[in-house]
Amino acid sequence: MPRIAHLYFRTAIIFLIIGICMGLKMAISQDHSVIGAHAHANLLGWVTMAIFGGYYALNPEKAERRIAVVQYAVYTSGVTLMVPSLYLMLMGNEAMEPVVAIASLITFAGVLMFAFIIYTGSTAARTAPAE
Ligand code: HEM
């Protein structure tokens, strides 16, 4: 599996663990105010990162491109900034609002870079060697 795919899965599983911890905290405390942070950790973190990793695993030529590393750095830093700042904002810390806004834009930039990667470069499929 390409290194970038591995990196994505390693990062994704951390977000699933964090997302589930937030879900359990909400369920136990019966205070669902951090629902947005829980949903974003699970969906932008676990689900989307796993899809990105799966795409790179299936398209090793794209995973070798330098932009793939930049895309990983941009997207993961956006989500890593967004989840805790959103959590704090939903807990009542209004000062976090601009941080959430900046993190959202960084995350979106990572998504646009991924779209660029999908639409450009080689699309040659790898075939299994004949036995
Ligand atoms: C053990 C694991 C999990 C626990 C304990 C948990 C717990 C919760 C709780 C208590 C809520 C609030 C429900 C409400 O206020 O209506 C919630 C909402 C939500 N959860 Fe989870 N969750 C878990 C895993 C996941 C996963 C893996 C995902 C996504 C991949 C996810 C996505 C969502 C979403 C999108 C919402 C918002 C639903 C809505 O607004 O209707 N959760 N979760």
15-50: per-residue pLDDT in tens? 999 999 999 999 999 999 999 999 999 999 999 999
Residue 108 has pLDDT above 90, yes or no: yes
Distance CA 99, CA 22 (A): 20
* CA 38 to ligand 1 centroid distance, Å: 7
Distance CA 3, CA 26 (A): 35
Distance CA 130, CA 43 (A): 39
Closest Cα to atom 43 of ligand 1 = 23
106 to 4, 49, 65, 117, 128: CA distances (angstroms): 19, 15, 20, 17, 38
Distance CA 11, CA 45 (A): 8
Query: If pLDDT is split at 50, 70 and 90, which confidence band does 121 have?
Result: confident
Cβ of 47 below 6 Å from ligand 1: yes
* CA 94 to ligand 1 centroid distance, Å: 23
- Predicted structure pTM score: 0.91
Closest Cα to atom 41 of ligand 1 = 35
Cβ of 20 below 6 Å from ligand 1: yes
